[in-house]
Structure 1
């Protein structure tokens, strides 16, 4: 089963951007994420539409964080990337009049809603600033700067 890592990837990119002194190009961000610049532009366009980042074309242009990290929560970013499905499981809907299907779906729906509520509650309690502070603390423990940070173990 393929897992959806869009939220994780977007948060990863935003943390890198918060540490940059200048706007980052799609190509730079793609290298950080190990993906294609087109994928970066597609995801970043959604964040730009929500006001979390800005973009500028031309020399010196690129993507920059446009929001206050202290007021933006991970839940805000989750919503901006389209609220990817948390649970890959689902229930049957082929026979909506079947009483067995109705009973099973009702039981599963409650569990799915509860998991989603807990997840979103956790995301709402963490700001981008808090996430960035945790990253910067870990970076300092390694004795590195953002420019020296690599993805090696």
Structure 2
């Protein structure tokens, strides 16, 4: 099963961008994320359209943040990458004639809606600044191994 990693990849990249001393090129971002620069440009276009980043062409160009991390939530990034499907599980038959399958669907639908609502609420609450602070705390306590 293939999982959609766009949200986590873009969160990762945005935090790197916040610590960069200048624009990050699509090639540099692609190296960081172990992907292709075309994939980076395509995904970053959604973030640009959402007003999170801007791009500059040319020799000194690249991607830069245009909003501070404390004004961006995980939900902003989730929406900017196209609101990927949250769950890989779903109903086997959305309109079954079997009463057992109807009962299963009702139970599954309720559980999936409740779980999605909790996740969406979390995405709305967490800012990228909070994630950055967690990273900084981890970096400060990290002990380099010889």
5+ residue gaps, structure 2: none
Work out whether residues 94 and 105 of structure 2, in 8 Å CA contact, stay in contact via their aligned partners in 1.
Answer: no
Match of 1:62 in 2: 62
Shift in Å, 1:104: 2.2
RMSD: 1.8
Q: Which has the higher helix share?
A: 2
1:74 corresponds in structure 2 to 74
Deviations 1:72-123 (A, max 9, x none): 1111211211222221111033645554443322211111111111111122
Is structure 2 residue 124 aligned with structure 1 residue 124?
yes
Distance 2:95 2:50 in 1: 39
- Pairwise CA distance, 1:133: 1.4
**TM-score normalised by L of structure 1:** 0.85
Measure, in 2, the Cα distance between the counterparts of 1:98 and 1:53: 50
Aligned length: 144
Q: 1:143 to 1:21 in 2, by over 3 A?
A: farther
SS at 1:18's partner residue? helix
Residue 32 of structure 1 pairs with residue 18 of structure 2: no
Match of 2:15 in 1: 15
Deviation at 1:17, TM superposition (A): 0.5
Q: Identify the residue that residue 147 of structure 1 maps to in structure 2.
A: none
Structure 1: unaligned runs, 5 residues or longer: 145-153
* Corresponding residue number in structure 1 for 2:3: 3
The answer to whether the aligner puts 1:112 opposite 2:105 as a matched pair is: no
TM-score, with structure 2 as normaliser? 0.89
Q: Secondary structure at the match of 1:63?
A: strand
Secondary structure of the corresponding residue to residue 23 of structure 1: coil
